[in-house]
Amino acid sequence: MSRDLQDISYGLEPDMTLEQFRSILKSSGLWERRPYDHLQQLEQMLRGASIIVAARDSSGALVGVSRAVTDYGYCCYLSDLAVDKRCQGQGIGRTLIAETHRHAGPHTTLILLSAPAARTYYPRIGMQPIPSGWMIPAPAGGFPPSPPPAQVSADVPASASMISATAEASGIASTEQPTDGTLET
């Protein structure tokens, strides 16, 4: 299904529906690397995004999407780039990246984690590899629910309790938290 790039329109779609998002995840193949059958989590992913850019053909069919989280000043994490397999190789992904970066702001650095099959794509469009990066993967089964505010100790800032709970859930050894309201890094 070759489409003329001039027939593709790009625009912000902050209210993209869950059904549309699932459809492009499926047609792009990205569904295998996302929580496709966990509808509540997919909905959170959509509603928590700072930027959602859609690519649509002349009939209005969704052929690509980028979903990103940004502070609009320093960095933009492009968490999903999905282009229908039938439309790949036509510059749609490159344009989605450019539009996402444009909406994030002129001073932001765009960051993404590549799917294994796409590792050779990004250098070809001018992106630079990051020599080192670190992550704490989500634990199997997800994170435990956050404690209600009343259960947070008055001696430990809420952010420190949250970091401690996240570290425990992720299997990271907890360290002693300061009690003066600061976090050491």
pLDDT, one tens digit per residue, over 25-64 is 999 988 888 877 888 889 999 999 999 999 999 999 999 9
- Written as one string, the DSSP assignment of 43-90 is HHHHHT-SEEEEEE-TT--EEEEEEEEE-SSSEEEEEEEEE-GGGTTS
At residue 140, does pLDDT exceed 90? no
**What is the band of 74 on the pLDDT scale with cuts at 50, 70, 90?**
very high
Name the residue among 110, 112, 104, 111 with its Cα closest to residue 73.
104
pLDDT computed for residue 174 by the predictor: 40
Using alpha carbons only, give the angle 147, 153, 155 rounded to the nearest 5 degrees: 150
Find the helix packing angle between 18-28 and 39-47, rounded to 10°: 100
pTM > 0.75: yes or no: no
At residue 148, does pLDDT exceed 90? no
At residue 93, does pLDDT exceed 70? yes
Query: What is the mean predicted confidence (pLDDT) over 61-80?
Result: 97
Is there a contact between 85 and 28 (Cβ–Cβ < 8 Å)?
Answer: yes
